[in-house]
Homo-oligomer: A and B are copies of this chain.
């Protein structure tokens, strides 16, 4: 880990944090953020020092409060979180330089994004004097569950007018997906989505105006972060295109990077410019750049998260020909439709595979009327065992590069035994499998959640699964073309945990 990466680590693992603008005024950003950190310190999650700074208070939540950053009686502070009004930020940064601060998160808005570029430049110039890395301004900052750093000013709970308190901006559990975002609003929405879908997060970074720390810096940091297996990035523009491409090329050989870049349409680009002052540039240029450096681009929010889920859980595919295994004819056909739309195939099996299925029919283990050419349709008479044996036969076929399994739980003879059964079989192979169950009530939710927890990504529609498989294929092709597939798969196997 080089020195620049080490400096960024102060954002995630600081030994001391000062919150400039901490307050007891409920609902205020300075209240929510300080409370996040105070609670995490009290619970032993955050183990460093914590200093609230507010000239009007003596103490906050049991912590001695300081009049100014300069008044904190220590020589060095790792991280400052700045929530004071924009005009007061430069003075705080001067004090931060004196305190040998390593990293500063500027939550405050009202800088470049509303035309105050000079003010932003002034703050950054001061920070540079002191070699302070700055995240923001105009951002949510950091959420890192393991170290207890949580600078999100959006309260976790809200109280409805009925008096009922509900989860509003949840913090996801720890996991292997890093989420980094230019838009704070999209970031908070992403936390909500990821929590609800039980997708664990390694590091969350909202970088806002990226006056100093950019997406490239964070990608480089995450390259070295063993807790991160896949990186999700929301962008409106890219700062320093050449650097980005160079860093992304390095990162994507080791871990997949999925980007959603808004402003992809001309009208959207215009709207983005008015939103963040982002000069979006031609979307085709972005497309070409992302392709060149192995970044997987999602075209919609659902794709964005679905791609991330698939890549976090499964190895890439080493070819485009998929096996489709289903207990529901119609949804099986829908899967094949979307595979073809995505440029993938579901070719008929090789003779030896077809022969194995014929043998199963002869033995009465699957219905004589089951379709077994690919897609394999075990029909509504499916049983758990039929699914398990079929996954094995299909994966054994060298022409099959991955499997989409549609286990619609409605079929009377299907229980949940096939879930662990198919997962166990799939783990024998270095090929990806993704699963579909359709429905939004108990057993569908149970089935999908169970597969997810066992490391097989589940989806609620045939098309979502086919598109997620496409991401695995695309990434596999990129790695192969760039001589990275063997190293990636070695690393994948090393890290594959037995979760059953």
Chain B nearest CB from A186 CB (Å) reads 4
Tell me if A91 counts as interface (CB < 8 A to partner B): no
A377 to B183 alpha-carbon distance, docked (Å): 13
Chain B nearest CB from A94 CB (Å) reads 27
Interface centre among A154, A190, A268, A377 (most CB of B within 10 A): A268
Residues of B within 8 A of A193 (CB): 438-440, 460
Interface centre among A184, A186, A369, A415 (most CB of B within 10 A): A186
Tell me if A189 counts as interface (CB < 8 A to partner B): yes
Residues of B within 8 A of A168 (CB): 409-410, 441-443
Q: Do B300 and A185 touch across chains, with their CB atoms under 8 A apart? A: no
Q: Do A185 and B440 touch across chains, with their CB atoms under 8 A apart? A: no
A195-B441, A412-B153 given as contacts; is B337 within 8 A of A462 (CB)?
no
Partner of A166, one of B336, B371, B446: B446
A161-B415, A417-B161 given as contacts; is B330 within 8 A of A186 (CB)?
yes
Q: Do A301 and B160 touch across chains, with their CB atoms under 8 A apart? A: no
Tell me if A323 counts as interface (CB < 8 A to partner B): no
Chain B nearest CB from A465 CB (Å) reads 10
Chain B nearest CB from A233 CB (Å) reads 12
Q: Do A331 and B186 touch across chains, with their CB atoms under 8 A apart? A: yes
Q: Do A300 and B338 touch across chains, with their CB atoms under 8 A apart? A: yes
Residues of B within 8 A of A442 (CB): 166-168
Give the residues from 351 to 387 in chain A that come closer than 8 angstroms, CB to CB, to chain B. 369, 371, 373, 375, 377, 380
- Chain A positions 112 through 145: 1 when the CB is less than 8 Å from some CB of chain B, otherwise 0: 0010000000000000000000000000000000
Give the residues from 381 to 429 in chain A that come closer than 8 angstroms, CB to CB, to chain B. 408-412, 415-417
Partner of A330, one of B185, B334, B345, B369: B185
Q: Do B416 and A340 touch across chains, with their CB atoms under 8 A apart? A: no
Chain B nearest CB from A366 CB (Å) reads 14
Partner of A188, one of B236, B332, B410: B410
Q: Do A438 and B196 touch across chains, with their CB atoms under 8 A apart? A: no
Give the residues from 244 to 283 in chain A that come closer than 8 angstroms, CB to CB, to chain B. 260, 262-268, 271-272, 274-276
A154-B410, A155-B412 given as contacts; is B441 within 8 A of A262 (CB)?
no
A380 to B234 alpha-carbon distance, docked (Å): 18
Residues of B within 8 A of A410 (CB): 154, 168-169, 185, 188-189, 192
**27 pairs of residues in contact across A and B, judged by CB atoms under 8 Å:** A27-B412, A153-B412, A160-B416, A168-B410, A169-B410, A170-B441, A183-B329, A184-B380, A185-B410, A189-B408, A189-B410, A189-B439, A192-B441, A192-B444, A195-B440, A265-B336, A265-B340, A267-B340, A268-B336, A268-B340, A300-B461, A300-B462, A300-B463, A301-B331, A301-B462, A301-B463, A302-B464
